[in-house]
């Protein structure tokens, strides 16, 4: 796996009881920050990453030497303006960029935990990251924000800690994982576990890696992040560096080559067991379960201002599922705004250069920060 010597982390000494019933303590939580925390400590935004993200939301990831996953959105004068806000992003527990996860060494054996790592949930991820508020001595965040699985964490955070953020931005997400999305995740997990190099999750200590299975999992998932129109316009039936079909099973079409490339580069930066655990956490996510199917009750104790965002071409977490969140918030009289951004880039729209989306967030955050500060004065 990657060299994590350049990763910042805190050691969470408190005992965290997981939803599976197990308890963990003295575990690492890796994080990164952007911007500066002001004297009042009221300009902090906690950003939650999606399935294959990490704490390096902006700039250059010092481990992979690649751009941060939200480079379009986080930085000076960007949507999350680090000239104004202090942005914190952590690697979720279960991840593979320095936080407690399957690749963490077991102190008793000095071997990676592998599948001895406990099954975790979105709730567990959020409760672990809450420790960052204490670490930075932040009484209340200005905002929490995230897309996809990051949006699920936003919803869970506000439900768990109703008075700890002024603003919440759940983007392109859902309050409970659908059967379709569980099916896609199961396809990816089976691809990994069917790879002979997976070795029941003990591949690291046996010097192997289920890279073929993980690549296929990534290829399958990547299709769900795009839109039919976007794929057709970008690739259509264009051939890959050839004038005619080769009548074989090499990559005749550009889309085949593109997917194979996406799979191959993914295995260099991500851990297969982490993929299993994090997709499982997403599938277990159902914010209504604790409240007898009533989503409104998950938020009835909060005064947080919500801004829910969806995209027209997102069929993985469609506008209808985002609108259900808005309806639940309206039912309890919560302060909520909603916008559907027109984009042909599919679910990945929140990660890409979509000016309407980025400008909408920037204007909303700047106006709300000014409004809340004026109100307090």
Annotated catalytic residues are 148, 314, 347
53/332 Cα distance (integer angstroms) = 33
Q: Measured over all CA atoms, what is the biggest interatomic distance in the chain, rounded to whole angstroms?
A: 72
From CA 90, how far away is CA 95, in angstroms rounded?
A: 10
DSSP class per residue in 231-272: HHHHTTT-BSS-SS--SSSS--BHHHHHHHHHHHHHTTT--H
3-state DSSP assignment of residue 293 = coil
Contact between residue 86 and residue 39 where contact means Cβ atoms under 8 Å apart: no
Identify whether the C-beta of residue 352 lies closer than 8 Å to the C-beta of residue 147.
no
Both tokens assigned to 362: 């920037």
By the 8 A CB rule, do 263 and 296 touch? Answer: no
d(CA 135, CA 32): 13
Contacts of 53 (CB under 8 A, 6+ apart): 69, 70, 150
First vs last Cα of the chain: how many Å apart? 50
- Residue 178's CB is within 10 A of a number of other CB atoms, namely 14
CA–centroid distance for 200 within its chain: 26
How far, in Å, are 7, 80, 170 from residue 363 at the CA level? Answer: 32, 10, 16
Pick from 69, 115, 57: nearest CA to 275:
115
C-alpha distances in Å from residue 362, one per residue of 77, 144, 194, 218, 356: 9, 14, 44, 31, 10
Tokens at 17, concatenated: 């009881």
Residue 368 neighbours by CB distance under 10 Å? 17
């Amino acid at each position: 796996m990657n060299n994590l010597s350049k990763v910042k982390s805190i050691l969470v000494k408190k005992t965290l009881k997981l939803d599976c019933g197990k308890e963990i303590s003295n575990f690492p939580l890796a994080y990164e920050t952007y911007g500066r925390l002001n004297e009042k400590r009221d300009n902090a935004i906690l950003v939650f990453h999606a399935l294959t993200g990490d704490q390096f939301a902006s700039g250059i990831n010092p481990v992979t030497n690649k751009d941060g996953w939200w480079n379009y959105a986080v930085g000076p004068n960007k949507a999350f303006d680090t000239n104004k806000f202090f942005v914190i992003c952590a690697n979720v527990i279960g991840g593979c960029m320095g936080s407690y996860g399957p690749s963490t060494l077991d102190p008793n054996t000095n071997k990676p935990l592998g599948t001895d790592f406990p099954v975790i949930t979105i709730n567990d991820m959020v409760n672990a990251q809450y420790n960052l508020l204490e670490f930075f001595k932040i009484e209340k965040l200005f905002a929490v924000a995230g897309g996809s699985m990051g949006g699920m964490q936003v919803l869970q955070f506000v439900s768990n800690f109703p008075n700890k953020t002024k603003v919440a931005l759940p983007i392109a997400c859902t309050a409970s994982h659908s059967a379709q999305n569980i099916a896609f995740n199961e396809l990816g997990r089976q691809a990994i576990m069917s790879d002979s190099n997976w070795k029941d999750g003990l591949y690291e200590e046996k010097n192997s890696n289920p890279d073929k299975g993980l690549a296929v999992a990534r290829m399958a998932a990547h299709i769900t992040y795009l839109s039919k129109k976007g794929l057709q316009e970008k690739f259509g039936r264009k051939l890959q560096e050839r004038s005619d079909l080769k009548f074989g099973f090499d990559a005749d079409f550009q889309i085949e080559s593109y997917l194979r490339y996406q799979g191959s580069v993914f295995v260099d930066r991500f851990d297969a067991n982490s993929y299993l655990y994090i997709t499982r956490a997403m599938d277990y996510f159902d914010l209504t379960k604790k409240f007898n199917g009533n989503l409104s009750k998950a938020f009835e104790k909060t005064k947080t201002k919500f801004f829910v965002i969806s995209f027209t071409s997102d069929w993985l977490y469609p506008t209808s599922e985002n609108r259900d969140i808005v309806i639940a918030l309206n039912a309890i009289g919560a302060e909520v705004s909603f916008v559907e951004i027109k984009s042909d880039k599919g679910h990945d729209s929140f990660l890409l250069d979509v000016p309407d989306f980025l400008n909408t967030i920037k204007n909303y955050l700047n106006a709300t920060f000014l409004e809340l500060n004026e109100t307090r004065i």
